[in-house]
């Protein structure tokens, strides 16, 4: 129930987030530089790191989940 004046918020279905995570992780694994930049800017582990640090890191699906959740 929304209050008067509230815009309300409908989050996308959870499957949409799962698809985004899978796509981001696949892109990172394939060497996509744009995906690496997303990890660089949106994953707290890489705040003080360089893009080569991201590319050299061992990352897993939970790291992609973190990026999508923070976005």
pLDDT digits 0-9 by tens, 12-49: 788 999 999 999 999 999 999 999 999 999 999 999 99
Please name which of 48, 24, 22, 20 lies closest in space to residue 36, comparing C-alpha atoms.
Answer: 24
pTM to 2 decimals?
0.81
For residue 28, being part of any structural domain is answered with yes
Cβ contact 35:43 at 8 Å: no
pLDDT digits 0-9 by tens, 48-62: 999 999 999 999 999
For residue 8, being part of any structural domain is answered with no
| Cα–Cα–Cα angle for 63, 68, 69, rounded to 5 degrees | 95
For residue 21, being part of any structural domain is answered with yes
Please name which of 69, 15, 67, 11 lies closest in space to residue 41, comparing C-alpha atoms.
Answer: 67
The count of domains in the chain is 1
For residue 37, being part of any structural domain is answered with yes
């Amino acid at each position: 129930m929304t209050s008067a004046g509230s815009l309300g918020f409908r989050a996308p279905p959870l499957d949409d987030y799962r698809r985004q995570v899978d796509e981001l992780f696949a892109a990172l694994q394939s060497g996509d530089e744009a995906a690496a930049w997303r990890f660089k800017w949106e994953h707290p582990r890489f705040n003080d790191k360089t893009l080569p640090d991201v590319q050299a890191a061992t990352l897993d699906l939970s790291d992609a989940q973190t990026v999508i959740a923070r976005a």
